[in-house]
Structure 1
Amino acid sequence: METYLVLRKPPEQRIGFTRSAIRGGSATIAVERIPGHALSDLKKDPDVLVVTPPMATALISPRQSTQEHPPTGSAWGIASVEADQSPYTGEGVVVAVLDTGIEKTHPAFAGMDILEEDFTGEGIGDHDGHGTHCAGTIFGRDVNGQRIGIARGINRALVGKVIGQRGGDSQMIFDGLQWAMRERANIISMSLGFDFPGEVQKKVDAGWPADLATSEALEAYRGNIRLLDALMGFFKAQSAFDAAPLVIAAAGNESRRAVNSRYKIAASIPAAADGVISVAALQSSGSLYEVADFSNSHAQVSAPGVNVLSAWLGGQLKAIDGTSMACPHVAGVAALWWQHLREKRSPNLASAVTSHLTTHARSDCFVSGFDSSDYGHGLVTCPR
């Protein structure tokens, strides 16, 4: 028997269920061991939306910055998104970070209410540094006089550990997304991706022919995309109750623009899923900005992703590069917009924040013209 993820309709949508839709209802993703002969019948069940094997996931791994960050002063991304000019701090907004965990004792998170949950089986905490860095950019407090966080007024955060030292899989991400929803996250930040090449290589290493390994991995990838799209659809259905979180994800680091201007890889899953805000990485070029060499294309918005200074393991600060570093900038900016629009009593906050992120993104600050396939709507900008 093989392991599958099975997405079923919410109870209120199932055949024979007569109650009207209930607030907070959601689909159920179950992990089931299914024999091969029963798989076809399960897929025909009208109450089953998706059946797919889980697939490997991986960090959108950061790159060591080749630039030296000055020993004092704020991280440069703070000013680039105009967080230093915004009167908003993210107070009262709840942000979830699905990543490698967090070093909760870091000075950047002093005094915060941080709820940790482990989905890897390895226990809470961060042994990598990636999750700590992303969290620092979103809501980190100043460290030794240096500002690293966009939304320093956030007091409650959720940190789901969905990738550990032994990697992760899509089940962990789906579990993390549903957990964040149950815990009433307003914004969810993910700097990770579904590892299609790794899934193929794993099967080839196990002795599978390359064409069969690719076919099986593609089937799993397609099923996981369908499951993610369905889950995002259920999130969106909660927007009428203002219970829908805004989901933001890094576009990926596989492009190699410096080698060839056409060597641009499209944004990967989950960033490319319907309803997810995908983020490209920028670097400074004098007083202007340009897309980073590694940044994947067709993202919706862009943010600083090169030489980004933030929290690191051991209570330290470290500057690294990647769309992983751009994504939390957008999550932090989104938190400021969330606070701003909530104070104005705007309905359907997740959709309203999405609209303001895109309509207020700047497209006049890039070198040599504007190409939406590189920058999306442009550089995100905080409310003022």
Structure 2
Amino acid sequence: MTQRYSILRDLSLVRTSEPFHPAARTVLGGALGGTAVLGGTYTLAEPQIEVADLTKRELHDLARDPEVQALAPIMPTKLIEPLAGAAPAAATTTAWGVSAVHADISARTGAGVTVAVLDTGIDRTHTAFAGVNITEHDFSGSGNGDVQGHGTHCAGTILGRDVDGTRIGVARGVETLLIGKVLGDDGSGDSEMIFRGIQWATQEKAHVVSMSLGFDFPGMVKRLVDDGWPVDLATSAALEAYRANLRMFDALMEVAQSAAAFGTGTVIVAAAGNESERQIDPQYEIGVSLPAAADGVISVGALGQSAAGFQIAPFSNTFPQVSGPGVDIVSAKAGGGLRSLSGTSMATPHVAGVAALWWEEVLASALPHTAVSITARLLARAQTTGFAPDVDVADRGAGLVQAP
């Protein structure tokens, strides 16, 4: 019996067979990134994601390969379903989330920054993306485009140009957009699509990657039960897969962070999830889910407005690192025009957009041009005032992200 696995190989610092080949770099005495590596000439390579059908014996043997950093059963993923938001006021000229993160008064626009959105695709003909250089890559097998409209809405919040006199984009100076379609037209996908999407985005030198999606644990259990597995066995297998994919993400982020010592690196932002139900019971709170739960990924909770100040959205999962506007967010609608949606899916692109603004700020400064610098500023500059008195720190994280 075989099972399909994702395999992460770390091929960084692999000794080259051609010591004088132009692609080889000599790493002596900390010449690169302050890391001393004895032995001379190495080729710095990107981590590689592979997929294979493995038996238990093959899995055991492969796990002993020193190049293999992690293995995980391929697991279903799904769109973090947004909720319909309230219609914007007729006189609105700037979406409230753009103002809340102070992007409307920032001197930075995201110029020179490359952003990747891994989602349901994009309606590239929408006026919100006029003049943007868009590269699409379909990992889902359903073709480019955006039937769901979710990816279009998220991309609009990150960098969309004004639509019918309304500003929707946080970083509307971004001109290079990478769209990885990792969820099919039905809103579903799998972990292989996400891993390949992240690999593609980092290889394309994205400064920021935005993901508003989650791993479908219940969906995997149901699929196995439908295939005839006993419920307890199906639940155990799904739990094992979830745990392995968490480790896979952690290993992928660790490899990416190691490679960042020789370049700028990538800030990866992901939605915390919409599984909480505080409107039923204040204690009905679910923790941050994958991929946002992985080390090195910036997890994002959702905020709404109230007379008392910013409130945690009742659906927003707890223990995010930061928060962003996520209720009644107006952005691009696939097919044209605007629509209002709510969810941590809507909060995440606000944080991704602010990250793009900070990239522009840091790249123009004497600060280290690294993802670590951006992450540090997102967390350190987050706003902790203006929240309603009953907001728990665990639910909002470091606070509401702020533009430079």
The answer, yes or no, to whether TM exceeds 0.5 is yes
The Cα of 1:20 is off from its aligned counterpart by 4.6
Of 112, 115, 118 in structure 1, the residue corresponding to residue 135 of structure 2 is 115
User: Aligned to 1:313, what secondary structure does the other structure show?
Assistant: coil
Aligned-partner Cα distance in 2 for 1:19–1:34: 36
Q: 1:374 aligns to what?
A: 395
Of 378, 385, 398 in structure 2, the residue corresponding to residue 357 of structure 1 is 378
Residues 366, 11 of structure 1: alpha-carbon distance in 2 compared, 3 angstrom cutoff: closer
1:71 and 2:90 matched: yes
Q: 2:114 aligns to what?
A: 94
CA contact (8 A) 1:9 1:27 kept: yes
Aligned-partner Cα distance in 2 for 1:19–1:169: 40
Aligned-partner Cα distance in 2 for 1:205–1:253: 26
Aligned-partner Cα distance in 1 for 2:322–2:142: 34
Of 156, 177, 181 in structure 1, the residue corresponding to residue 176 of structure 2 is 156
1:299 and 2:300 matched: no
Aligned-partner Cα distance in 2 for 1:341–1:191: 25
Q: 2:237 aligns to what?
A: 216
TM-score (norm 2): 0.91
The Cα of 1:286 is off from its aligned counterpart by 2.4
Of 156, 159, 162 in structure 2, the residue corresponding to residue 139 of structure 1 is 159
User: Aligned to 2:135, what secondary structure does the other structure show?
Assistant: strand
Q: 1:335 aligns to what?
A: 356
* Percent of pairs with identical residues: 51
The Cα of 1:185 is off from its aligned counterpart by 0.2
Aligned-partner Cα distance in 2 for 1:245–1:251: 19
Q: 1:130 aligns to what?
A: 150
CA contact (8 A) 1:330 1:380 kept: yes
Letter in 2 for 1:97: V
CA contact (8 A) 1:118 1:160 kept: yes
Aligned-partner Cα distance in 2 for 1:358–1:331: 13
CA contact (8 A) 1:292 1:306 kept: yes
CA contact (8 A) 1:289 1:366 kept: yes
The Cα of 1:242 is off from its aligned counterpart by 3.0
Deviates more, 1:70-79 or 1:141-150: 70-79
Alpha-carbon displacement from aligned partner over 1:75-110 (angstroms, at most 9, x marks no partner): 111111111111110000000000000000000001
Deviates more, 1:103-112 or 1:341-350: 341-350
CA contact (8 A) 2:315 2:343 kept: yes
The Cα of 1:223 is off from its aligned counterpart by 1.3
Q: 2:104 aligns to what?
A: 84
Residues 376, 20 of structure 1: alpha-carbon distance in 2 compared, 3 angstrom cutoff: farther
The Cα of 1:222 is off from its aligned counterpart by 1.3
The Cα of 1:348 is off from its aligned counterpart by 4.0
Aligned-partner Cα distance in 1 for 2:299–2:56: 36
The Cα of 1:123 is off from its aligned counterpart by 1.1
Letter in 2 for 1:226: R
User: Aligned to 1:260, what secondary structure does the other structure show?
Assistant: coil
Q: 2:33 aligns to what?
A: none
Letter in 1 for 2:65: D
The Cα of 1:19 is off from its aligned counterpart by 5.6
User: Aligned to 1:125, what secondary structure does the other structure show?
Assistant: coil
Aligned-partner Cα distance in 2 for 1:360–1:189: 20
The Cα of 1:243 is off from its aligned counterpart by 3.0
CA contact (8 A) 1:242 1:350 kept: no
Alpha-carbon displacement from aligned partner over 1:19-45 (angstroms, at most 9, x marks no partner): 65544x222221112234422222233
Q: Number of residue pairs matched?
A: 381
Aligned-partner Cα distance in 1 for 2:319–2:116: 24
Q: 1:49 aligns to what?
A: 69
The Cα of 1:10 is off from its aligned counterpart by 1.1
CA contact (8 A) 1:242 1:347 kept: no
| Two-structure CA RMSD over aligned residues (Å) | 1.8
Letter in 1 for 2:8: L
CA contact (8 A) 2:308 2:389 kept: no
The Cα of 1:306 is off from its aligned counterpart by 0.4
CA contact (8 A) 2:207 2:266 kept: yes
CA contact (8 A) 2:12 2:43 kept: no
Aligned-partner Cα distance in 1 for 2:122–2:352: 16
CA contact (8 A) 1:239 1:348 kept: no
User: Aligned to 1:285, what secondary structure does the other structure show?
Assistant: coil
Deviates more, 1:217-226 or 1:25-34: 25-34
CA contact (8 A) 1:363 1:370 kept: no
Residues 113, 297 of structure 1: alpha-carbon distance in 2 compared, 3 angstrom cutoff: same
Q: For 1:28-43, what aligned pairs fall within 5 Å after superposition?
A: 28-43=48-63
User: Aligned to 1:6, what secondary structure does the other structure show?
Assistant: strand
Residues 37, 235 of structure 1: alpha-carbon distance in 2 compared, 3 angstrom cutoff: closer
The Cα of 1:48 is off from its aligned counterpart by 2.2
User: Aligned to 1:149, what secondary structure does the other structure show?
Assistant: coil
CA contact (8 A) 1:72 1:146 kept: no
Alpha-carbon displacement from aligned partner over 1:318-348 (angstroms, at most 9, x marks no partner): 0010000000000011111111111113214
Letter in 1 for 2:267: L
The Cα of 1:5 is off from its aligned counterpart by 1.3
Residues 266, 329 of structure 1: alpha-carbon distance in 2 compared, 3 angstrom cutoff: same
Residues 27, 80 of structure 1: alpha-carbon distance in 2 compared, 3 angstrom cutoff: same
User: Aligned to 1:338, what secondary structure does the other structure show?
Assistant: helix
Q: 1:256 aligns to what?
A: 277
Unaligned runs of 5+ in 1: none
Letter in 2 for 1:263: Y
